[in-house]
Homo-oligomer: A and B are copies of this chain.
Amino acid sequence: MEERKRIEVCFTPGEYEYFKGEYDIVVVIDVLRATSAICAAFDNGIKAIIPVATIEEAREYQKKGYLVGAERKGQIVEGFDFGNSPYSYMKEELRGQEVVLSTTNGTKALSIASDAPTVVVGALNNLDALAEWLAKQNKNILCLCSGWQDKFNLEDTICAGALCDQLIQTGNYTSTEDSSIAAKYLYISAWDNPLGFLKSSSHRRRLKNLNLNEDIKYCLTPNKTTVIPILKNGKLVKL
């Protein structure tokens, strides 16, 4: 019997150093809201997204004439065109465009994962399509959760746990890290009612206070799209 490939979960960008190098594919997850917004953008026909880690880099691109989104602590950074609400990326005028994005957690995770052979973007919004594609690759996979300001968060973990569960069910994948086992358990506890399960999550409370309830509902709805954004030469494009 061929050895099963691994799918594992890293809870925060800060812990990535203890995982890196062992995985062929890294799935970057930031459910609330960067990777959900990125999926929405490609679903709406955006051509490419250039993720940048810092506001300074974002400003450099703005000077060059790019449309630039920048979010910190849940809010649009002053002087930028949009933040990371999925609804910002559904506008007609963005179709076919190349945009730049910098967010508190998600683009930071994309940046640190960029050394991996393959980097794709995961969210609840593209869950089944992504799981199906990953299952066909037969490679070692790491789900890198973006967390919240370097701390663990529930929504990214549950999304990662759902990917583990689907891939393990194919019979060709296994999870051996305790973080992956925990993520799968949390996903199973949460799945019947993710909005209910996450009602007490700290980030959801934070966004609710910012009147972002519609965004939350969007981001926590599985399988709104089948797009799989992939990092190619520093740009996210549709696979």
Report the copy number of this chain in the oligomer: 2
The number of chain A residues with a CB under 8 A from chain B is 26
Rounded to whole angstroms, the CA-CA distance of A185 and B12 in the bound complex is 19
> Is A15's CB within 8 Å of the partner chain B?
yes
Segment 151-172 of A: residues with Cβ below 8 Å from B: 151-154, 157
Chain A binding surface, main DSSP class = helix
Residue of B nearest to A205 (CB): B176
Alpha-carbon separation in the docked complex, A209 to B12 (Å): 29
Q: Whole-angstrom distance between the alpha carbons of A14 and B152 in the complex?
A: 12
- The answer to whether A201 touches B186 (Cβ under 8 A) is no
A177 and B151: CB pair below 8 A? Answer: yes
Q: If A12-B15, A15-B12, A15-B151 touch, does A182 touch B182 (CB 8 Å cutoff)? A: yes
Q: Shortest distance in angstroms between A190's beta carbon and chain B's nearest beta carbon?
A: 8
Identify the 5 closest CB pairs spanning chains A and B, nearest first: A152-B179, A154-B178, A153-B178, A178-B202, A178-B201
Q: A181-B200, A185-B185 are in contact. List 12 more A-B contacts (CB 8 A).
A: A14-B14, A14-B15, A15-B150, A15-B152, A18-B150, A151-B178, A152-B178, A152-B182, A153-B178, A157-B182, A176-B202, A189-B189
Partner-B contacts on A (CB < 8 A): 11-12, 14-15, 18, 148-154, 157, 176-179, 181-182, 185-186, 189, 200-203
